[in-house]
Amino acid sequence: MRSKSTNLLKGRKILVAASGSIAAVKTPLLVSSLIKSGAEVRCLITPSAARLVSPLSLASLSRNKCFQEEDQWSPQQAKPLHIALAEWADLIVVAPLSASSLARWSQGLAEGLLASVLLAFEKPIVAAAAMNTGMWGNQAIKGNWERLKTFNNLLCLEPSEGLLACDRVGEGRMVSNELIQLAIESAFLQASSEGKITKDWTGLRLLTTSGPTVEPLDPARLLTNRSSGKMGVLLAQAAKLRGAKVDLIHGPLQTPEGFLEGLTTYPITNANQMKELLNELQRSANAVVMAAAVADLRLQRGQNNKKVRKEELLSTIQEDLEQVPDLLKEMATKRLPGQVLLGFAALSGEDSEIQKLGEMKRAQKDCDLLMANPIDRDGQGFEVDTNGGWLLGKNGLVQLMPVQPKLQLAHKLLDALLLSGLKN
């Protein structure tokens, strides 16, 4: 499944800034993606970045002038350019953020156009660092980065591990454009009217599951479902961007690979593997979200080593299948003090029927919250970028969740978990 525009960025004014890292070659693709998502984009490039990527390409892709150092004090500017750009933008994304630009910004040095704009800007900023592994591990760089993370209008994206331009393998590679855009969307959803970005999950740990599980019948056939895993993955990333430590247990996913960057992931195939990891990880979690679509049936004796003949298939299904245990219900029996459980239920029918069935399931599973998710309606359920339904909780909570981008719903569910009594 390809990631489609969710319209969270439609009409937003975004200033994309690139500083001197080889990762600047990825910036044009980020600009293109933001434009396709409906954002209005302007670009700013430092002198060193201009040696790596063409300002003309950024201007062409953004449909706007690409600002450079020599433009800062142009006599054609009626207002200082760094102030004009800071007033125009709803959000700034710095991708990549080099070691030099990081140093100037963190120390408050207004040397150059980019540094001046960042210091004058009061709304949300997303910064994606990129540099050589040795530089990233340097004590001075670490100090500058930690200082930057204290800025209340900033989402910091640490570099990931991989093959760098210097042929070294290690931390320093700029995260994917998919994750950068996800962070931009989250920043808009998280930011207050003053431009502050909430980190209200700091100090908390989230354990979440995602995707389908797969139960083999034989070497050729499987029992599974249509879950893409996107809802659970976005819940994990949204929580991480709000300061949480996240453990994600997931089956086979149909999401952009970049959506998993920065997360602690545990890929599995079947329900037994998921159960073992849940038992291991539950004890350290403040909240558990069971967003995975666990297959309902499996063979009692495990996979057949030989392919079942067609004429024997029906009898095999009738005689040898068993129901997969309810993992959420089992976790509820092991709930720790202060731990909050959120489950998902894929349902169909009329509104009143879904609410009734959802509350019945919530009570049976003994979870604190349950997202009753109609899957027989447009824009909801499996393999789409939007979702909706009803959030049900103890004490009679029935909250309509209109159809909305899954990332937006993820943030609302994280809000609900905090309001339900989540404790450190």
Instruction: Give catalytic residue positions.
Output: 166
Tell me if residue 3 falls in helix, strand or coil: coil
CB count in 10 Å sphere of residue 202: 11
Q: Do you know the residue count of the chain?
A: 424
Burial class of residue 107, CB neighbours in 10 A (0-12, 13-18, 19+)? exposed
φ, ψ for residue 117 (rounded to 5)? Answer: -65, -45
Of 261, 263, 272, 259, nearest in space to 228 by CA: 259
Measured between alpha carbons, how far is 231 from 234 in angstroms, rounded to an integer?
Answer: 5
- Beta carbons of 43 and 67 less than 8 angstroms apart: yes
* Residue bearing tokens 């040898």: 320
Q: State the DSSP string of 353-389.
A: HHHHHHHHHHHHHT-SEEEEEE-SSTT-STTSSEEEE
- Beta carbons of 218 and 387 less than 8 angstroms apart: no
Measured between alpha carbons, how far is 291 from 212 in angstroms, rounded to an integer?
Answer: 9
Measured between alpha carbons, how far is 13 from 316 in angstroms, rounded to an integer?
Answer: 59
* Residue bearing tokens 């979870």: 367
Neighbouring C-alpha atoms within 13 Å toward the C-beta of 237:
30
CB count in 10 Å sphere of residue 55: 17
CB count in 10 Å sphere of residue 4: 12
- Beta carbons of 328 and 241 less than 8 angstroms apart: no
Measured between alpha carbons, how far is 161 from 260 in angstroms, rounded to an integer?
Answer: 13
